[in-house]
Structure 1
Amino acid sequence: MYEHHLSDNGQVLSLRKDGHETRFHAIWLRDNAQDAQTRSPANGQRLIALRDISEDLAISAAEITGTRLSLTFQPEDRSIDYDLAWLERHAYDRPAERRPGWTADPVETWDSRLMERLPTADFGAVQSDPAALQGWLADIARYGFGKLTGGPVQDQALMQVVDLFGHVRETNYGRHFEVRTEVNPTNLAYTGLGLQAHTDNPYRDPVPTIQVLYCLESSAAGGENMVVDGFRVAERLRDENQDWFNVLSRHCARFEYAGSDGVILRSRRPMIELAPDGELIGVRFNNRSAAAITDVPFDEMATYYAAYRRMGEIIDDPAMEVSFRLEPGESFLVDNTRVLHARKAYSGTGTRWFQGCYADMDGLHSTLASLQERRPEAAE
């Protein structure tokens, strides 16, 4: 049962439920009204600008009826209804102090123990069953990666993976790229060498936020794929040494790629990226593409390199890795702003042919949200 209290000047409304009080400013409530004159019923976009709301705005009356809250705003002299559950979900009155490096829902950080519950789905199931697709995409949103089995063994089948949730992001490598041994390759990914766990394309701004790798041939010995949760790496570094975490999140590294004719890509971003309120939102780590670091003050450079070294050691720790072998028709997807991926060395005998492409997490989140909105209706 909700109770409400209105401040004397009508600038703050307080809601109380089960002994817990949540406050809302009048201007926030008016700006976030969901009525048809404020938001388009067709697409939910706001129909008014802040300039359309009086600077002298105040709430003159409030009433709760069942699950609805009715507020009357002055000087409009207009009543608008609010869903109490919606207000509860969007409440912003909470303790402000959070330790830098906190992660938002539904992120769950992990280490090698995730091997016991590898986020995996069947390709045919996610293509035909919205519930299976929703579950797989939800796992990717939670863990930052997911594997698919049972896919077709055919050229560019990876495009069918991207079609499940979004669109290919084309780069200078094309709509997709081939990953197999080459003579005099332009990129170390095209050799049989093992690769340290890394994020892809840190020299781009913005980076592609999804990478898909799809197996078409895999008879060479070795070459297991490996993933490491960069967010868990950042948490471990922070827990070991707050100064090291701070120096890698406060100063920018530089990355560069100039391996192809007519292509010189550069970016300047921190290895550990935080939002202004301290939320952990990204990790960039790729030793092969690291350029000279020039944005760290002299007095902090030694600390920066100590932190950089330790971050690499944590990434290389076997206790952090989840590894798996892909067979033809299998693929995996990683959130390239969070999960580092690697490949163990493989022999020169046999064949190993993968195809890769890039996409973006906004499409995945959009598809997931749409499926989550639809599921309750489908159950009715």
Structure 2
Amino acid sequence: MLRHATHDPAVVSVEFEDGTRARFHAIWLRDNALDPQTRDPGNGQRLITIGDIPAEIAIQAAEVAGGDLQVTFAPEDKTVTFPAIWLAAHVYDRDQNRPMGWLSPGITTWDGGFAAPAGDWTQVHESPAAKRDWLAAVAEYGFAKLTDGPTAPGSLLKVADLFGYVRETNYGPYFEVRTEVNPTNLAYTGLGLQAHTDNPYRDPVPTLQILYCLENSAEGGESIVVDGFRAAQSLRNENPEGFALLAGYPARFEYRGSEGVCLRARRPMIELSPDGELIGIRFNNRSSAPFVDVPFDRMEAYYTAYRRLGEIIDDPAMGVAFKLEPGESFIVDNTRVLHARLGYSGAGSRWLQGCYADKDGLLSTLAAMRVAQPEAAE
């Protein structure tokens, strides 16, 4: 609810029931008007362009009506109502000076003491509440497990079906993770793998990865996940200059493991949005190409920061370890959570299948479920 509103031709000032105040520009309000001539009432898409709004747009009148804001715009003589709850959710008149590497409010970082979130295969597929909770865990923590699933090849595709679509790559709709002779990728050997994000040589990178266990009787081969956002923040806290170097200059990544494929990308190891939000990690020693975009006089400092980030990631206290059993799987946000594998012996068998998907589908499904069941999302 709003208490009152004042205005001049360029700005409306409001006071909410809790005493907080906010200002909104005339052009912003007109561009975001909620009337059916401005936005389609069915899908919410805007029906006008910025050029359709008069350059001389101004506030002709503004008042509180029934607790909401009612604005009349000149020269259109158009009156639009803005619900107080909508205005409160879209306030931009606030201190927006945040530290470099700040995180979205919906993200919680973790280290090795964290208990891996998990959902039950049957419940997640049959119960909307269980599915929503599992998707929410992936969104908040960057990974989650699924247990007690089938062991039929291709079952991982049913995991992707929970929220979206498989992103097919040169590896196909999905790929096999087991020992091969003359492998095209070190993932297909029994060697241990340092914690890494997958496919940093793609642009855009696949934003989700699913790994599904079909057989696992080999000694070793435990999976480890590391929160790359926690690692990056640790680096920032102890070496702000090094953090800025890894965020400020692009690294290079390349993959040429099979005939007809030469993938290259030029992106920073630590990716920030223009306002400093931490939005991505690309870290993969196997796929790093020579760094040639860092100035000569900063290269040694860049490598010092790179080494330290690797040390933080490799710290056992950072990783959550688990051994997948047949029918178990886990999903990681490939822009945030690194995954590793301990080496395993030739005795027994270890067969996983993996695929990629995209986070926008998962976040869309989760948001739609929360809208449909708002009481359950609280």
- What corresponds to 1:134 in structure 2? 132
Aligned residue among 288, 294, 297 for 1:296: 294
Asked if residue 368 in structure 1 is aligned to residue 366 in structure 2, the reply is yes
Check whether the contact 2:6–2:63 (CA below 8 A) recurs between aligned residues: no
Once the two structures are TM-superposed, the CA of residue 7 in structure 1 deviates from its matched residue by: 3.4
Once the two structures are TM-superposed, the CA of residue 378 in structure 1 deviates from its matched residue by: 8.9
Check whether the contact 1:56–1:75 (CA below 8 A) recurs between aligned residues: yes
- What corresponds to 2:192 in structure 1? 194
Q: Which structure 2 residues correspond to residues 59-70 of structure 1 after superposition, within 5 A? A: 59-70=59-70
- What corresponds to 1:58 in structure 2? 58
Moved more, 28-37 or 60-69: 60-69
- What corresponds to 1:13 in structure 2? 12
Once the two structures are TM-superposed, the CA of residue 325 in structure 1 deviates from its matched residue by: 1.1
CA distance in 2, matches of 1:43, 1:311: 44
SS at match of 2:371: helix
Aligned residue among 357, 363, 369 for 1:359: 357
- What corresponds to 1:72 in structure 2? 72
CA distance in 1, matches of 2:66, 2:126: 40
SS at match of 1:368: helix
Residue type of the alignment partner of 1:52? D
Residue type of the alignment partner of 2:73? F
Residue type of the alignment partner of 1:208? P
Structure 2: gaps spanning 5 or more residues: none
CA distance in 2, matches of 1:175, 1:348: 27
What is the TM-score with the length of structure 2 in the denominator? 0.97
What is the TM-score with the length of structure 1 in the denominator? 0.97
- What corresponds to 1:106 in structure 2? 106
Deviations along 1:267-292, whole A, 9 cap, x unmatched?
00000000000000100000000000
**RMSD of the TM alignment (CA)?**
1.3
Asked if residue 86 in structure 1 is aligned to residue 86 in structure 2, the reply is yes
Pair 1:243–1:56, CA change in 2 (3 A): same
Residue type of the alignment partner of 2:13? S
Structure 1 segments of 4 or more deviating over 6 A?
Answer: none
Structure 1: gaps spanning 5 or more residues: none
- What corresponds to 2:182 in structure 1? 184
Pair 1:322–1:378, CA change in 2 (3 A): closer
- What corresponds to 1:331 in structure 2? 329
Residue type of the alignment partner of 2:128? P
Deviations along 1:128-163, whole A, 9 cap, x unmatched?
111111111111000001100011110100000000
Check whether the contact 2:222–2:323 (CA below 8 A) recurs between aligned residues: yes
CA distance in 2, matches of 1:309, 1:93: 40
Once the two structures are TM-superposed, the CA of residue 6 in structure 1 deviates from its matched residue by: 2.9
Deviations along 1:166-197, whole A, 9 cap, x unmatched?
00000000000000011111111011111000
Aligned sequence identity (%): 63
SS at match of 1:147: strand
CA distance in 2, matches of 1:104, 1:93: 18
Check whether the contact 2:225–2:337 (CA below 8 A) recurs between aligned residues: yes
